Structure 1
Amino acid sequence: MDYIHIKDMEFYGYHGVLLEETKLGQRFRVTLSIATDLEHAGKTDELTNTVSYAEVYELCKEVVEGKPYKLIEAVAEKIATVVSETYPSAVKGVRVEIIKPDPPIPGHYREVSVEITRGVFA
């Protein structure tokens, strides 16, 4: 299995349960890994034979900066679904991590995140 990784994409969104999260918004970081077969793309050197990470970036941006969700779990699920549905024949699996670097909760921590994996990911 081959992989495409896009790490630490940063977007601004309005996801959360707390009122200040939905009114003020906050930064979100997204790390995405796509399980796919890159052999044909490697041999042909043609973008049409792979998953465009520029397009995937835009898909992630549309989800995170679009409709607000209460849970980052829902944001991760939506990204996994959109990427898989956009490239149904190429994407064998998707791993999505959504990171909230500055959630409005008391305590000392670097960040909070969720990570989901959908499909085949060896």
Structure 2
Amino acid sequence: MTSKIIIEDLKIYAYHGALPEETLIGTYYLLNVEVHADLWKAVGTDDLNDTINYAEINDIIHNEMKVPSKLMEHVAGRILKNIKMKFPQVSFIKIRITKTNPPMTGEMHGVSVEIENQF
């Protein structure tokens, strides 16, 4: 059985970007993270030890967003790797990071990078 845990539109202020001013000024990012694992045991036990603790995933996301990077791909990769290390039972991870105010011409909701990996 595969179950999903999805963190939706987590809003974090961070300092990522290839341009020097992006690492000084910062902007809001929206993060969506989806993890798959067999969580059937938790259905019956009602025990946090039998599932994926999404509060710990949230901590991983916040910790990695604190580390300034030039590329959102790099940040997403670090988040993915740390989730898999913390929760080896995860069989799939998808991460989308959206920069809400990219330094580009035109009006938009943002620019996103999405990576996923199946284990």
1:59 equivalent in structure 2: 60
Match of 1:74 in 2: 74
User: Quick one: distance in 1 between partners of 2:109 and 2:33?
Assistant: 20
Give me the whole-angstrom Cα distance separating, in 1, the residues matched to 2:20 and 2:50. Answer: 44
What does the per-residue CA deviation read over 1:30-57, in whole Å, with 9 as the maximum and x for residues that have no partner? 1000010110011110000011011110
CA–CA separation in structure 2 for the residues paired with 1:93 and 1:47: 20
Give the match's secondary structure for 2:57: helix
Q: Per the alignment, in what secondary structure is the counterpart of residue 90 of structure 2?
A: coil
Q: Does 1:115 align with 2:89?
A: no
Quote the Cα distance in structure 1 between the aligned partners of 2:51 and 2:27: 32
Q: Name segments (4+ residues, structure 1) moved above 4 Å.
A: none
Gapped regions of structure 2 (runs ≥ 5): none
Counterpart in 2 of 1:44?
45
Q: Does 1:84 align with 2:84?
A: yes
What is the Cα deviation at residue 59 of structure 1?
Answer: 0.7
Q: Helix, strand or coil for the counterpart of 1:23?
A: helix
1:10 Cα deviation after fit: 1.1
C-alpha distance in structure 2 between counterparts of 1:74 and 1:9, whole Å: 18
TM-score (norm 1): 0.92
Distance 1:20 1:106 in 2: 16
Q: Does 1:30 align with 2:31?
A: yes
Between the aligned residues of both structures, percent identity stands at: 35
Question: 5+ unaligned residues in a row in structure 1: which ranges?
Answer: none
Across the two proteins, how many residue pairs are aligned to each other? Answer: 118
Q: Provide the TM-score with structure 2 as the length reference.
A: 0.95
TM-superposed CA distance for 1:87, in Å, is 0.7
Deviation at 1:108, TM superposition (A): 2.2
Secondary structure of 1:106's match? coil
